[in-house]
Structure 1
Amino acid sequence: MSEIDESIVEHLAELARIDLSEVEKSDFTKQLSSILEFFSKISELDTEDVKPAYHALDLVNVMREDIVEESLPQDIALKNAPEKEDGAFKAPRIV
């Protein structure tokens, strides 16, 4: 992995449109170097016999049973609406 220096941190700060003090640049340089060092250690691991984990759980399309239940009465649902029209919520036009 390539080394992180302050010029890279300055470039990242510019891309993120943030201003960093000299202390912050120094701190971020050390932190990013440490992170890249950790990735180097991870890439050294032998993963030859490890199956890819596409999902954390082996569950596919788990759905609940669809049960019809009594809903909220219209008058209670509209009770605190700032504006209503013909028994429905009235919202400002967005288009």
Structure 2
Amino acid sequence: MQIDKDTLHKIAHLARLEVKPEEEAPLLKSLESVLSWMEQLDELDTTDVAPLTHISAEINVMREDVVGNHLPREQALVNAPSQDGTYFRVPKVIE
């Protein structure tokens, strides 16, 4: 499939890309290469292939939520630039 410079600029605009004039030729060649590969894939017979909805059959594989060692509050607040004995003090950001 052939792509002209106008189509390249439309694609770049939609993708919010700035394409410099010296980048046009390599991009056109690259896009044509990708599209020709897609045309080859389009020739495959996929009538008996079920649609893929998930890449993996795994569901919510997560680690156990186990309480471990933690830093005591006093030690965590030692190097704080500003604290009130219980919490870190930070500048107000919402009025």
TM-score, length basis structure 1:
0.72
Q: CA deviation at 1:54?
A: 2.6
Structure 1 gaps, min length 5: none
- Residue 86 of structure 2: aligned partner: 87
Q: CA deviation at 1:73?
A: 0.8
Using the aligned pairs only, state the percent identity.
35
Alpha-carbon RMSD across the aligned residues, in angstroms, is 2.3
> Using a 3 Å threshold, how does the CA distance of structure 1 residues 45 and 91 change in structure 2: closer, same or farther?
farther
Q: Residue deviations 1:51-72, cap 9 Å, x none?
A: 3333332111223323233321
Structure 2 gaps, min length 5: none
Count of residues in correspondence between the two structures = 93
Q: Residue deviations 1:24-68, cap 9 Å, x none?
A: 111111111111111111122222233333333211122332323
Q: Residue deviations 1:1-33, cap 9 Å, x none?
A: x63111112233344251412x31111111111
TM-score, length basis structure 2:
0.72
- Residue 33 of structure 1: aligned partner: 32
Looking at secondary structure, tell me which structure has more strand per residue.
1
